[in-house]
Amino acid sequence: MKKFVLFALLATLSSGAFAHSRIDKTTPENGAVIAEAPAEISFSFANDIRLTRVDMTHADHPPVQLDLGSQKSFGRAFKLPLESMGAGSYLIEWRGLGIDGHAMQGAFKFTVE
Amino acid sequence: MPDIWGQAAILAKFLLYIGALGATGLVIVRIVFAGPTALVAERMRKQALGLAALTLVAAGLGFMLRGAALTGGADGMTDPEMLGLLWQTPVGDVLLYRLIGAILMIAGLLIPHSGQWIALVGGLLLLWSFAQIGHVRDIAQTGVRLLLLLHLVGVAFWIGVLSPLHRLSRRPDHLSHAARLGHLFGQAATFIVPSLILAGLVMGWMLLGTPTALITTGYGLALITKIALVAGVLVLAAANKLRFVPEMQAGNTNAARHLAQSIEIETTVILAVFATTATLTSVLTLPN
């Protein structure tokens, strides 16, 4: 029976997408290949959220937490300055709080040639 | 697949369901079936106290884990900025309902006689908190929230009878009390079960929108898992009502032993229903 409970839990976990992470648009776009690292990154969300943490991982380096600066209120569009780390892949991972109290998270990546 | 904080949040919600529904159910059953449960009343009171304490811990832990989900680390669990942010959202309102509900429940259980009514108010507040957040709140209709409350009261009543019925069934000298409680609950279930099914179907329809979403979305598939588990519980409940309880009324102690075993399986399946619901309401998005 314990296995049955575990199975039910795993079956439902594996069948669904992680909740409430609806992002409309990012700049650069997810998967973009660009010539130069952008001076800033931006996010647009379908609904109001409050960003709580954004991490950048460049190539094989450890993640760096980006300063949210004044972007600490609920909104749909956010811009954060980005320090160029040169060529390579950039992974941006974000977390936030929806106005309804749902925790949200997501990620996008781009490559600088 | 949610991260470690998401998984921990599901576990906290699972414990919250056990605590809130279990404690409220025991209080309701103690009030409704005072006579047949008199022999196990003190044990039921202690169980309800333990479950109310579990509710307090699970509600607080769940709130702190939401803080961790916002930062992606354990530091978020005690970060005043994150917890302050959460407090301003419906998550904060719900925590308040749950803390007040659980404290009222504990206080009521510690006061003899009339305290059970205070405990009942606490329990209803706990159940009402589930209608103030999540997917049912998203569809923003008071009628649906009341339907969820009705659904939860029915579930709590059902769960609340399991422990005293199990306890009484295992004692041959308490056979007549077990048979009486089983019979009375069986009569009540004739109304409760169709209401539970109807409320569940209406809410499922309102949340999903179309029947095809049942098989084409993760949310729908999880709902099917839940329905299948509930169907299993219903089969067991039907066997209890139609076979074991009448035999117990005729004085058959073996039937009481079978009923106790059936209740143990029923409890396990209900725990699986809770696990599925905790997942359904935590990590799966509603279609559209």
Higher pLDDT, A95 or B280: A95
Between the alpha carbon of residue B270 and those of residues A5, B117, B169, B259, the distances in Å are: 9, 26, 19, 16
Judged against a pLDDT cut of 60, whether residue B177 lies above it is answered with: yes
pLDDT at B283: 66
Q: How far apart are CA B134 and CA B285, in angstroms?
A: 10
B14 contacts B278 by C-beta, under 8 angstroms: yes
A14 contacts A94 by C-beta, under 8 angstroms: no
Find the domain containing A80 and state its range. Answer: 21-112
Higher pLDDT, B218 or A92: A92
pLDDT at B80: 95
Across A38-54, average pLDDT: 90
Query: Is A56 within a domain?
Result: yes
Judged against a pLDDT cut of 80, whether residue B121 lies above it is answered with: yes
What are the chain A neighbours of B94 within 8 Å (beta carbons)?
101
- HSE (side-chain half, CA atoms, 13 Å) at B122: 31
**Which of A9, A56, A66, A72 is the best mutation test for B, with the most CBs of B within 10 A?**
A9
Q: What is the ipTM of this complex?
A: 0.77
Judged against a pLDDT cut of 60, whether residue A14 lies above it is answered with: no
Q: Which of A20, A53, A100 sits opposite B72 (nearest CB)?
A: A53
Across B29-54, average pLDDT: 96
Query: Is A69 within a domain?
Result: yes
Assign A10 a pLDDT band (cuts: 50, 70, 90): very low
* Count of domains observed in chain A: 1
CATH number for the domain that contains residue A77: 2.60.40.1220
Judged against a pLDDT cut of 80, whether residue B140 lies above it is answered with: no
Q: How far apart are CA A41 and CA A26, in angstroms?
A: 7
pLDDT at B1: 64
Judged against a pLDDT cut of 60, whether residue B99 lies above it is answered with: yes
pLDDT at B139: 56
pLDDT at B214: 77
Assign A59 a pLDDT band (cuts: 50, 70, 90): confident
Least confident range of A31-35, B131-135, B200-204? B131-135
What are the chain A neighbours of B268 within 8 Å (beta carbons)?
1-2, 4-5
Query: Is A16 within a domain?
Result: no
Q: Where are the domains of chain B?
A: 4-281
pTM reported for the whole predicted model = 0.85
pLDDT at A4: 45
Nearest CA in chain A to B92: A101
The distance of Cα B201 from the centroid of its chain, to the nearest Å, equals 18
Each residue's pLDDT tens digit, B237-258: 888 888 899 999 998 889 999 9
Judged against a pLDDT cut of 50, whether residue A38 lies above it is answered with: yes
